[in-house]
Amino acid sequence: MVGLYHYLKGVIGISRPPWALYLSYCYFLIPFTMVNQNNVYSIFLAFITMFFFFLGHFSINAIFDRDVDSVNPRKNELNSWTDSLDFQKNWVWVMIGIFWILSLLGALLHTILFESDFTLIFIIIAIILAIAYSTPPLQIKGRAPLDLLVNQLSFGVIGPLFVLESLGGGLQTIPIEWIISLLIFSISTLTIVVLPTVIMDTSVDKEYGYNTFSVKYGIKRTIQTITLFFGIQLVPILLFSVIAIREENLVFLIIMIALVYGEGSYVIYLWYRPTEYHAELIATLFSSSLFTAGIILLVFIHLIPILPLFLGFFLAFKLKSLISLF
């Protein structure tokens, strides 16, 4: 029983469910906020499908990064989880593979129930890219600039397209300018978020032989790339802000303003302090602030409207209990 507990703890540790939930939520945030969608079941099934994909992606990534992470003092907690698992046991791989099996089943079920043309295809492509990114012999995460390009394709293109396809009517019902704007936005945001995490591991990756983006092109060139994509991102943000003003969507307008302010501050800070330490500081601040903001948005946008319903159930239950006393 103790062995099973340590095994499950290790699997949960390397798969990182809180981050999988949060990232899945981030992908659905803009469609949730800006698209009038009544098919809640379609969106919820797609959300769960993406959640299990992220669990599998994080797991595979942690497994094949064991050696390089072991010399990285910033990943002590992750190392303790991976060290607690015996990856020579076949059942470990089977259990981790279950994440992607569930993701594929979710996508297949979505295709059947909601007559979606591409949800299953998108998940298959995402899984193939995740395997190519983390596992030998390709292990693209150590082959710049393919590491950045595959991240942009997988999470900047395939992820948003999967979400848009799952909205009920499919991609064909969404204006092409919306799709293009969202893809530019997601690719840019992904690049701004990911590259500081690459910069902060430059020395460790170089020592281990990973030819990542910052190792190959240098920290300053990597920061210039971040700045470039920040400038590109302003175009779709302007479009989204205009739409938000036109539709009197104050919450979404505040999101866009806060995002520009936060990212702009981090880009300027990093531009004048191009070091691994400051990149780590930026990555930590950015990810933690995004996580905190995501939880706040989750409460205000999606939970507050249904709180009266839960309150009604609670009061009805209490009333029934009081009546039963008499």
Q: Residue 86: its pLDDT value, please?
A: 59
Residue with tokens 């060290």: 83
Q: Residue 178: its pLDDT value, please?
A: 82
What CATH number is given for 1-174 in this structure?
A: 1.10.357
Question: Which residues are CB-neighbours of 257 under 8 A, at least 6 positions away?
Answer: 241
Q: Residue 174: its pLDDT value, please?
A: 78
Q: Residue 207: its pLDDT value, please?
A: 80
Q: For the chain, give every domain's residue range.
A: 1-174, 175-303
Q: Residue 35: its pLDDT value, please?
A: 53
Q: Residue 326: its pLDDT value, please?
A: 47
Q: Residue 72: its pLDDT value, please?
A: 56
Q: Residue 243: its pLDDT value, please?
A: 83
Q: Residue 52: its pLDDT value, please?
A: 94
The verdict on pTM exceeding 0.85 is no
Give the mean pLDDT per block of 10 residues along the chain (326 residues). 63 77 78 58 88 90 70 54 57 78 94 86 94 87 89 91 80 82 90 88 83 91 94 92 82 79 86 87 68 55 53 56 51
